[in-house]
Chains A and B, each alone.
Chain A
Amino acid sequence: MKENLIQLITAFLGALGFALLFGLHRRHLLFAALGGMLTWGIYLLIHSFLQSPFLANLAASVFAVSLAEALAHWRKCPATLFVVPAIIPLVPGSSLYYAMSFAVQNDMSAANTYGHQMLIAALAIAAGISFVTVCRELHTTRK
């Protein structure tokens, strides 16, 4: 539980950091950072029920993009502004690092495991984004 709490707080800080890094305007910062934190909350929730990193990443990225679209609609600005900070906690930085590190140490089976984890996360995020995109396209009619 304590670990989860620490992760939620640091996801907030990390998302805030990226929002700053990408020059998001001050008035949106809080919402962008909350988006990152909530997205990670969804990931933890789904992961604790289903034990599947793929489904957890998928659900979290669907949530992140939907939330970003909603925020963008409410605050009248492009959705990209909120998509990036929200998705950031899902980016598989640690699997990438361990895959590289084990590959260098010539431990190929461990490198493979982490490489797989990374690919699965990337795929799930992409699938989540496309799911929301399709839903939005169905919703908006051609002008």
Chain B
Amino acid sequence: MTPELTKTEQAELVSCLLDMGQMLLDCGAEISRVEDTLTRMAKAYGCIRAEVFVITSIISLSMEFREEEALTETRRIYSSTGTDFTRLEELNHISRSCCQSPLPVPLLKKSLQQVSSESRPFSSLLAGSILAAGGFAVFFGGSLWDGLAAAAFAIGICLLQKKLGETQISPVGMNLLISLLAGLSVGLVCLAVPALHMDKILIGDIMLLIPGLAITNAVRNMLGGKTISGLVRLTESLIWAAALAGGFMTSILIIDLLL
């Protein structure tokens, strides 16, 4: 059952779907999921033809409601607000229910706005960083104390990421700065407390910074035939990883000189 849409509703729907695509990309969905979702939504709202093209930096959506009458809009995507799987799930839920019976456009707009207004509590980010860094420091052979130290430094990294996220700094600069500072402070603490292992603590904290999700998604995108997006994301994450390595290597070098 598809609703008959007025001209204004059609225009509103296009911008709604672009919002939805942008949010999906932001919260960590693969490209193919964004394209699939938008195409299905468009069909559900009675489009006879929908052309969707998504890469990491742009979404282009063209919807044809009647013969030779298409609405096309593009949305440039600048920066991501960070992965949020709860939001991804909520958006997925909206899309599922719309494909069964389409919500009226104003209602769709409202529910999307509601999803975008809910932001993740900082505490879960902090708890996650502590657990992940501490866990992996021990996982890769560190002692319990190394794990605790990695967890403590993870708090610092998390706070730094939050502070830097509010500035205009590029992801490359951010990774370089954070890894340099983390490497230096871990190194200095390890010089003061010889019982700690610098390598294990840093490995735990590196796991937090490695763009693991981005690389996994890049590979999955490329395998799914979304070669351009996959390449963009892969190149991006390799550059971030290089920045990370650069920061850590510099800090190790400085610490080695101090010894």
Contacts and interface: CB of A to CB of B under 8 A. Distances in A.
A17 B139 contact: no
B202 interface: yes
A10 B144 CA distance: 11
The majority secondary structure among interface residues of chain B is helix
Given A13-B131, A17-B130, A103-B249, A129 B219 contact: yes
For chain B, give the interface size range: 35 or more
B109 interface: no
Contact of B216 (A19, A77, A87, A96): A87
A108 interface: no
Contacts of A88: 132, 207, 212
Contact of B127 (A20, A91, A125): A20
B199 to A, nearest CB: 6
Contacts of A130: 219, 223
A92 B83 CA distance: 21
Given A14-B135, A20-B128, A22-B85, A84 B199 contact: no
Interface string B118-134: 00100011011111111
B212 A91 contact: yes
Given A78-B33, A98-B199, A100-B248, A10 B87 contact: no
Interface string B141-183: 1000001000000000000000000000000000000000000
Given A96-B245, A100-B248, A101-B199, A129 B138 contact: no
A25 B212 contact: no
A23 B124 contact: yes
Contacts, number: 145
Interface in B196-243: 199, 202-203, 206-208, 210, 212-213, 215-217, 219-220, 223-224
B138 A6 contact: yes
B216 A84 contact: yes
A18 interface: yes
12 contacts: A22-B83, A23-B83, A23-B86, A23-B125, A80-B33, A83-B220, A84-B212, A91-B210, A94-B140, A97-B206, A101-B252, A129-B216
Interface of A: 6-7, 10-14, 16-25, 77-78, 80-81, 83-84, 87-89, 91, 93-94, 96-98, 100-101, 103-105, 122, 125-126, 129-130, 133
